[in-house]
Amino acid sequence: MLYEKSLEIVENYAGSNSVHTLRITLCLARSYCDEGRWRDAERLLVKVLEQRMQSLGGEHPDTIEAAASLASAYYAQGRWAEAEKLNVEVLEQRRRILGIEHPDTIRAAANVAVTYHAQGRLAEAEKLEVEVFEQRRRILGTEHPDTILAAANLASTYYDQGRWADAEKLDADVFEQRKRILGIEHPDTILAAANLAATYGAQSRWEDDAALLGPTIQLSIKVLGSRHPDTQAYVRNLVLQQQGQYRKAGNLYEKALELVKNSAESNSIVTLQITSSLATSYWKQGRWAEAEKLDVELLEQRGRVLGMENPDTILAAANLASTYADQGRWTEAEKLEVEVLEQLRRILGMEHPDAILAAANLASTYTDQGRWTEAEKLEVEVLEQRRRILGMEHPDTILAAANLAATYGKQGRWEEDAALLASTVPLSLKVLGRQHPDTQGYVEDLAFVYEKLGRRLEAEETRALLL
C-alpha cells in the first residue's frame, strides 16, 4: 500500500518515465512478488523493462536487472519458456560485459539452470549447476551462503535424476553447514533438513527419514508460523511419494496432526496441510474410507477458510476425486474432475501445469470407464502441451506419451501404440534410467505390443534393454 501511494504521488509529480517513478515501480513490483501477486508484478516489470530499454539501452545494468526480475515473475507463473529466453539473454550479456566470474554472472547462470530444471532438462541444469557450485566454492569459499545454495540446487537436480547417493552427500553437507552457521532454527536449516529427509525417503530409509521429519515439523511451526509461505510450501511437500512403507508415514502424520491440534496452531492452514498429508498416506495404503473422510473434511474446511477458487481448495477437490476413482466410483470422480479442470483452466490458464495435470486425471477416469474417444482427445492435448512447454525429455511428457499409447492399445490400435512407445522407451532410459519403475513398465508394455503384432524378435530385443 505504501509503494502504491508513493508511486501515485511521484508519477503525478515527475511523470511516468522519470527515474524516480521507475525505481518506485520496481519496488512495488518486488513487493507484489513477495505477496505472490505475479500477474500484477509482471505488468509493472514489463513497463519498467520497456522504459529502461528506451531510456538506458539494452545493456545498461538497470535494464539487465529489470529483465532478470521479469524472468523471475514468468518462472513463478510456470511460464518457463519465457523465463528461459530472458534468463539466457541476461546470462549472455553479463558474461560479455562483466566476465564469467562476476557474482552477477554466476547468479544469472544459476537462474538459467533453475529454469532448465523446471522444464525437466536435467542434464543441462546439472552442467550449469556444477559450474556455478565450483565457481562459488573457489571464489567465495565453501561456507558462503551462495555456495551452500548452489550445493542445495545441485543436490535437487541429482535427486530428480535418481542419483540418491550424490544428492544425499550434498544434502548432508548443506544441512551440517547451515546448522553450524545459521543455527537449527533458521528457515534455511529447516529446509535443508526437509531435503535430506526426502532423500532418505527416496532410498526407503524410513527410520532416518522419520527421525529428521518429526523435529522439522515442530521447528517449522515454531519458527515460521503456520501462515508463512515457506511453512505452507514445506508442509505440502511432506507427503512421501515413494512406493511402500506408507503405514509408517501415516503414523508419523497422525502424530504430527495430534501435535498441531494440541498447539496454538490448531485451527491453522498448517493443520489442513498435515491432514492432507495423512489423507494421502491413507490413500497410498488403500484405506479408501479413511482417506475419503479426511478429503471431504479438507474440501469443506478449505472452501470455508480459503474460498472455493483457491488453488489449495481445488487441489482438495482433485484429491477427493482420486479417492472416488480408486474405489471405482467413476461418476462421482468424473463430476469433480470436470469441475477442477474447468476452474483451473479459467483461473490459471490452459497451459498451467496444474490445469494440464487435471486434464490428464480426467482422461484417466474416462479410460477406466472404457470411454476411449474422450480419453484419447484429452491425452492428445496433454501430450502436445507438455511437449511444447516442457520438452520431449521431461518425465511428465514421457508419462503423457505412455498414457496415450496405452489408450491406443486398449482400442486394439497396436501399430499406433508401438510407434509411440518405441519413441518413449529410449527417452525414459535416457532421462529416468533403466532402474526406474516407470522405465521398466514402458519397456514391458512395448515388448507386449510387439508380441501382439507378431514381432517377437523386437519384443526380445526390447526386454533385453533392461538387462
Mean pLDDT value of segment 388-409: 90
C-alpha closest to that of 220 among 169, 251, 263:
263
440's CB contacts (< 8 A; 6+ apart) are 434, 466
CATH code for the part of the protein at 370-467: 1.25.40.10
What confidence score (pLDDT) does residue 247 get?
A: 45
Q: Identify the burial level of 186 via C-beta atoms within 10 angstroms of its C-beta, where 0-12 means exposed, 13-18 middle and 19 or more buried.
A: middle
pLDDT bin (cut points 50, 70, 90) of residue 230 is low
C-alpha closest to that of 171 among 202, 144, 205, 148:
148
> Which three three-digit cell numbers place residue 198?
526426502
Condensed to tens digits (0 to 9), the pLDDT of residues 299-342 reads: 888 788 778 887 778 888 998 998 888 888 999 999 999 999 99
> Which three three-digit cell numbers place residue 346?
479459467
- pTM (two decimals): 0.62
Q: Please give the angle made by the CA atoms of 415, 421 and 425, to the nearest 5 degrees.
A: 150
C-alpha closest to that of 401 among 431, 429, 381, 430:
381
CA dist 71 and 62 (Å) reads 14
CA 97 to chain centre: 33
Condensed to tens digits (0 to 9), the pLDDT of residues 426-436 reads: 999 988 888 88
What confidence score (pLDDT) does residue 433 get?
A: 82
234's CB contacts (< 8 A; 6+ apart) are 190, 191, 194, 216, 220
> Which three three-digit cell numbers place residue 385?
502441451
Domain residue limits, the chain: 370-467
Q: Please say if the pLDDT value at position 235 is more than 90.
A: no
What confidence score (pLDDT) does residue 83 get?
A: 93
Mean pLDDT value of segment 108-134: 91
Q: Cell 546448522, residue?
A: 179
What confidence score (pLDDT) does residue 243 get?
A: 35
Could you give the residue ranges of the DSSP H alpha helices within 77-163?
A: 80-98, 103-118, 122-139, 145-160
What confidence score (pLDDT) does residue 163 get?
A: 82
CA dist 403 and 384 (Å) reads 13
Name the 3-class secondary structure at 110: helix
Q: Cell 512403507, residue?
A: 245
Are the beta carbons of 68 and 89 closer than 8 angstroms? Answer: no
CA dist 60 and 57 (Å) reads 6
Q: Identify the burial level of 160 via C-beta atoms within 10 angstroms of its C-beta, where 0-12 means exposed, 13-18 middle and 19 or more buried.
A: middle
DSSP state of 307: -
CA dist 247 and 390 (Å) reads 34
**What is the maximum span of the chain, computed from C-alpha positions, in angstroms?**
80
* Segment among 23-27, 63-67, 88-92 with least mean pLDDT: 23-27
